[in-house]
Copies of this chain bind each other. A is one copy, B any other.
């Protein structure tokens, strides 16, 4: 007998690289190429260290109110956490507790690769449902008996969007379990499931400040749901850590969300760059689905993904590659500024 026998042993998720090298074009973790809203700077400049002395507001009222205002919701429909990873981890812990081990939580085989890690961590039985060849989802695959459903929409790393009526169909057919729709990339061209929370109290919609609001470094994620589902999530959160959001996250996060116009401008710029780049990548022999995200998931008709990845890296451009079944030939390329993408295209021309 050893203390190690009692340890929960897990294989952790591997996050994308955060290189400390300067002068690199970083297209590997889907950050926004534009800075946060101007008001964030103003609030940062007025921040006093003496405020750090006291505990932050455990209800996160300033941030929750700002999000509720933006989306025209009641505060009781909003949950916030330390990035959408924290929100999703708490949601897995809170909602996927079927006593029947045969009722498995369902999510696609190719999707955000943290879902199976959370399921393993919390010992939640799960089944990975294969995506179709073109990376689309067949809603019917999620209609059988299960312990919960998680759909990233648009899906990552594929970038493919499931239309809202099909999302609704999945939610409607699963009244006995919680359905999580992970909308980390929804602001780049998708239609959010947010309006459905009024109709389905078992729906949780998760979003993040890390992509469309340029605040990956601040770690802010949030979820929408019925007042009942949010209350359950809050109870679990307050059983884990009373004060998850620090003072800068609360006040700078609220500032970031208040500026609707800047938000619209940024996401439109990212979408415009993405659409401009698509034909250029096609010309170079890449194929990819119709991305509605701030990345393009592409493979080349001749060159191996591994080789292109290495060549880009040698030339100061980092993209993401997953050494996983079915997708090892693909590269996930975040949408940077127009200048960054032009450099990418130029370097790609050299190799393909």
Q: How many copies does the complex hold?
A: 2
CB within 8 Å of B: which of A4-37?
4-16, 18, 20, 26, 29, 31-36
Q: Tell yes or no: A50 within 8 A of B by CB.
A: yes
Would you call B57 and A121 a contact (CB within 8 A)? no
Would you call B175 and A3 a contact (CB within 8 A)? yes
Q: Tell yes or no: A56 within 8 A of B by CB.
A: yes
CB distance from A66 to the nearest CB of B (A): 16
Q: Tell yes or no: A85 within 8 A of B by CB.
A: yes
Q: Tell yes or no: A1 within 8 A of B by CB.
A: yes
CB within 8 Å of B: which of A185-239?
201-202, 210, 214-219, 228, 232, 234-239
CB distance from A79 to the nearest CB of B (A): 13
Q: Tell yes or no: A328 within 8 A of B by CB.
A: no
CB within 8 Å of B: which of A79-125?
82-83, 85-86, 89, 93-99, 117-118, 120-121
Additional A-B contact list (12), CB under 8 Å, known A16-B55, A86-B244: A1-B176, A2-B176, A7-B97, A12-B236, A29-B55, A33-B53, A52-B215, A53-B214, A53-B215, A82-B241, A120-B239, A121-B236
**Residues of A with Cβ closer than 8 Å to B?**
1-16, 18, 20, 26, 29, 31-36, 40-41, 44, 47, 49-58, 82-83, 85-86, 89, 93-99, 117-118, 120-121, 147-148, 175-178, 201-202, 210, 214-219, 228, 232, 234-249, 252
10 A-B pairs in the complex with CB atoms less than 8 angstroms apart: A3-B177, A4-B232, A31-B54, A55-B217, A56-B219, A82-B82, A86-B240, A86-B241, A86-B244, A219-B243
